[in-house]
Each structure stands twice: as structure tokens, then as C-alpha cells.
Amino acid sequence: MNIIDILTPEHTYNGLVCNSKKRALEATSEWLAETIPNIDATALFQALIGREKLGSTGFGDGIALPHCRLDNCEEVTGALVKLDKGVDFDAIDRQPVDIMFILLVPKAATNKHLQVLSTLAEQFGKQSFRERLRACENNVELFAAAIDTSL
């Protein structure tokens, strides 16, 4: 699996303005619900927050991988969000998060969910990949950097 398999330009957002983890997830839920069929913003937000209550998805190095399984989700969908500034995400390294990759998975796709998370963790674990994303100044650049598999 590559990021391009689950990410589209429409689900790439550079410069989301927010001041907390809760607001980042809420704003992202509202934005995604506008473009993904059958996804309700409130249900998505509640699912993401519910997952955070089990343990932070703050991966470290300024990265968070919020994820959830949803009844109305028809296919594995990713969204890449670069925040305008880092926010406290209760990350394992206590560093503020400035990049989120949100993963939405159909309720029944348990194995696929874990496989995709593993792939994302590997990719976002690369310092060069993170630096490339942080250097982006707009949505087009951010999408191009995310799907570039040359690293």
C-alpha cells in the first residue's frame, strides 16, 4: 500500500488554524464530512475523540495518526492535514503535533486498518518525509510531497 492509494488532493489541507487537539479533530471532521459520502461530521468527530480517549494517536516528531472505523465508511480513506502551528496532542514524546494523517476505515476492515496504520507509521517515521511535508506551502505541494515515493 502507498499513500496515493488512500489520499486524494481533495483530502489534503495545508494550514488548518486551530489551537487544540479537540479543535483540530473537530475542524477536520467537519471538512471531511463535506466530501465523503454518508459520513456525518458529529459521528466522525465522536469516533476520533473516542479513539483518542483510549490513548493518544500522537506518534512523535510532531506527527499524529488519528484513526477510526466507521459504519458508513465505504472504503479506506486518508486525509493529510498540516496545522498552522503545533498543538498539544499528548504525544508520546510530548512534542506538539503539526501534521495529522487521519485514517477512516470501514467498520469490518480490521486487518486492513492495522496494515495501513503500519505503513503510515513507517512512512511518517522517516525524518526526510516529515521535513518534505513541513516545507510545503500549499495543498498542491503537500499532496505531491505525500505521494512521492522516491524516499
The predicted structure's pLDDT at residue 19? 95
Residue pair 80/7 in contact by the 8 Å Cβ criterion = yes
What is the fold, at CATH topology level, of the domain defined by 3-145? Mannitol-specific EII; Chain A (3.40.930)
11 part of the active site: no
Tens of pLDDT, residue by residue, the chain (151 residues)? 789 999 999 999 999 999 999 999 999 999 999 999 889 999 999 999 999 999 999 999 999 999 998 988 889 999 999 999 999 999 999 999 999 999 999 887 666 667 888 889 999 999 999 999 999 999 999 999 999 876 5
The number of C-alpha atoms within 13 Å of 26 and in the hemisphere containing its C-beta is 7
The vertex-142 CA angle with 137 and 146, nearest 5°, equals: 150
Pairing of strands 12-16, 77-87: parallel
pTM: 0.93
The catalytic residue among 11, 21, 67, 113 is 67
E strand intervals along the chain: 12-16, 58-60, 63-64, 67-70, 77-87, 97-106
